[in-house]
Amino acid sequence: MEKLILASASPRRRELIKLISDNVICVPSGEEEALPDGILATETAQFLAYQKAKSVARDYPSDFVVGCDTVVILQDTILSKPKDEADAHNKLSTLSGKKHKVITGCAIIKGDRMHTFSQETQVEFYLLSDEEIRRYIDTKEPMDKAGAYGIQGAGSLFVKGIEGDYFNVVGLPVARLMRELKAFGYR
């Protein structure tokens, strides 16, 4: 099986990509590009995924390099990782009782070939009390996650339902990625 390079430091993505291959090397891109003016919220994840993959692919021109980025979107506004506990509280209060989108963009690069795609999942939250939000923030779990929650952890207690790929919300739509890699020539 060919080597797969994951351009990510995310522990969740590292675990999930192992479902596709054991021959994986994780190389954080260390590069966050500025978003171009006028980019739509729904295009952001795919753009950032490409930037991450491109920065790592320079050092691995003969391997399959995968970059990913996940965004949480509520009414065309991106809810990024929280800056601090107050920001996490604000984001979770904003999501309370509402449906939102989680979009993961993926980019695959090998040599001079490139392919990008994105996967969207709808997530609905229960109404959250201030106490629930504060207790969750006290766990520190939301502090490194887009939208200030992790569906795979205690944040799952807020989720009323999802439409789409659960693993996409975790940060890597593995079933779709596997199929896209195969179509791109990965064996």
Q: Which whole-number Å values give the CA distances from 14 to 21, 31, 82, 99, 119, in the listed order?
A: 11, 18, 22, 28, 18
Residues 27, 5 contacting (CB under 8 angstroms): yes
Structure tokens at 170: 């975790």
Question: From the candidates 22, 59, 69, 144, which is the catalytic residue?
Answer: 69
In total, the chain counts a number of residues equal to 187
Give the chain's count of helices (H) and strands (E): 6, 7
Structure tokens at 154: 């205690």
Residues 78, 147 contacting (CB under 8 angstroms): no
Q: CA 176: distance to chain centroid?
A: 14
63 is catalytic: no
State the catalytic residues.
69
